[in-house]
Amino acid sequence: LGSSLRGTLDTLQGKSRLSKEDVDEVVREIQRSLLQADVDVDIVMELSDSIRTRALEEDPPAGTSARDHVLRIVYEELVALIGDSTDLPLEPQTILLAGLQGSGKTTTAAKMAWWFSKKGLRPAVVQTDTFRPGAYEQSKQMCERAEVQFYGDPDAEDPVEIARRGLEATEDADVHIVDTSGRSGLNEELIEELKEIEGFVDPDRNLLVLDAAIGQGAKDQAQAFGDAVGVDGVVITKLDGTAKGGGALAAVNETDSTIAFLGTGETVQDIERFEPNGFISRLLGMGDLKQLAERVERAMQETGDEDDWNPEDMMKGQFTLLDMRRQMQAMNNMGPLDQVLDMIPGIGGGLMDQLPDDAMDVTQGRMRDFEVIMDSMTDEELRNPRVVGAERTRRIARGSGQPEERVRELLEQHRMMERMIKQFQGMGDGDMQRMMKK
């Protein structure tokens, strides 16, 4: 998954215009990726049409390759489909969670409460599930872990009555999260109960909680919940598993809502505010292009303008230890180099495979040692590390208080990176240069 899409995109390297065949091929791969991520077939077809039309009709802006052009169209169309994250003002409000049993409502309630508490609000969870044995205990424990207020009553039978007492008991909280019971499938009883609770609580927002593995069933569920109480936002849970959550797009589409949160684990901290870029990257199994561009830009701003160091020179000519030091500083700001490279289509896969595993493995601790060692090197040695033989190694080691072994490691690391840079230099399309320039 993703790699065939990447492969197809790579065949567009260097082209400035796309033929109809090129576009068809890209669209086919996008379709494959989206269907594998459980995106609804109708949605995939609709998306394909708009991508195909735009890719053929719109000319790539000057200086943009056909591949980047088509990638941007794909990205824009997906953003348009998925939308921004559900609006959630940081102010007093009541949120109702709905969904089938096991979708992750109770877990999400505690997670959201934790999230709001980190934003400086005072949340409380009201547990109205009288259907599932153990719901009270589970909810109570999670809320304790989240260190948020909780109300439930294991002996009560009427969910509306629990909601009434719960809202009263937690009056001084400013965000109320009302958890409801689910059923193993959609049925009249569930919907009726939900309507009653919703009618009484009168929430500001109803969130539909969906398991990432939901697949094609999302549409019917969303419709049923939407008809009953209205859906303002969707929470996709269990994204830490293998499912990519594409099924939830049908729910968003069906209810004309957006995605609010993503659940990424079983503990109360495993919650993320939805953000289209990362989600789309995950769906397509491709690198996070937007974030990459921003991170590279930030990193280059922080390290690039201390003197006249120009990453482009590095790409053209020699790769010195001075370049390596700048690289390491940039990496500190961007994250591990292999992850950064993996985000760039065309570089990630193929090239990474040709490098030894530890070529990228410069840990933060080792970087600090390397810094210290470089401080003990002369300008000549930094500019031309080839001159460092056994004798100079000894001197540098003594001067820096590092073992000779570490000095040799630094030189070895430099040689590996030099080799890698040479390979970039050999790349026709110049992804790296463009990336560095941004």
Which one of residues 31, 48, 85, 237 is an interface residue with ligand GDP (CB under 6 A)? 237
Give which of Mg ion, ligand GDP, none residue 266 binds (C-beta under 5 to 8 Å, depending on kind): ligand GDP
Which one of residues 6, 238, 406, 414 is an interface residue with ligand GDP (CB under 6 A)? 238
Query: Which of 299, 358, 309, 354 has its CA nearest to residue 331?
Result: 299
> Is 102 known to sit in a ligand binding site?
yes
Which one of residues 264, 327, 402, 413 is an interface residue with ligand GDP (CB under 6 A)? 264
Rounded Cα distance between 150 and 136, Å, is: 10
> Is 99 known to sit in a ligand binding site?
yes
**Minimum gap (Å) between residue 180 Cβ and ligand GDP:** 9
> Is 378 known to sit in a ligand binding site?
no
Which one of residues 84, 266, 361, 405 is an interface residue with ligand GDP (CB under 6 A)? 266
Which one of residues 6, 105, 219, 290 is an interface residue with ligand GDP (CB under 6 A)? 105
**C-alpha 127: how far from chain center:** 30
Q: Does 182 bind ligand GDP (CB under 6 A)?
A: yes
The piece of 11-19, 262-270, 385-393, 402-410 that touches ligand GDP (CB under 6 A) is: 262-270
CB 125 within 8 A of CB 179: yes
Binding residue count for ligand GDP, defined by CB under 6 A: 18
> Is 290 known to sit in a ligand binding site?
no
> Is 18 known to sit in a ligand binding site?
no
Q: Does 217 bind ligand GDP (CB under 6 A)?
A: no
Give which of ligand GDP, Mg ion, none residue 240 binds (C-beta under 5 to 8 Å, depending on kind): ligand GDP
> Is 105 known to sit in a ligand binding site?
yes
Q: Does 263 bind ligand GDP (CB under 6 A)?
A: yes
**Minimum gap (Å) between residue 142 Cβ and ligand GDP:** 8
CB 173 within 8 A of CB 123: yes
> Buried (b) or exposed (e) across 327-348, using 16+ Cβ within 10 A?
bbbbbeebeebeebbbbbbbbb
Give which of Mg ion, ligand GDP, none residue 348 binds (C-beta under 5 to 8 Å, depending on kind): none
CB 75 within 8 A of CB 289: yes
* Cβ distance to ligand GDP smaller for residue 102 or 430: 102
Give which of Mg ion, ligand GDP, none residue 60 binds (C-beta under 5 to 8 Å, depending on kind): none
The piece of 233-241, 335-343, 356-364, 419-427 that touches ligand GDP (CB under 6 A) is: 233-241
> Is 111 known to sit in a ligand binding site?
no
* Cβ distance to ligand GDP smaller for residue 102 or 230: 102
Residue numbers 103-122 binding Mg ion by CB under 5 A: 105-106
* Cβ distance to ligand GDP smaller for residue 270 or 404: 270
Q: Does 99 bind ligand GDP (CB under 6 A)?
A: yes
The piece of 157-165, 184-192, 260-268, 320-328 that touches ligand GDP (CB under 6 A) is: 260-268
Q: Does 265 bind ligand GDP (CB under 6 A)?
A: yes
Q: Which residues contact 71 (CB under 8 A, 6 or more apart)?
A: 9, 289, 345
Rounded Cα distance between 365 and 134, Å, is: 47
**Minimum gap (Å) between residue 105 Cβ and Mg ion:** 5
Interface residues with Mg ion (CB under 5 A)? Answer: 105-106
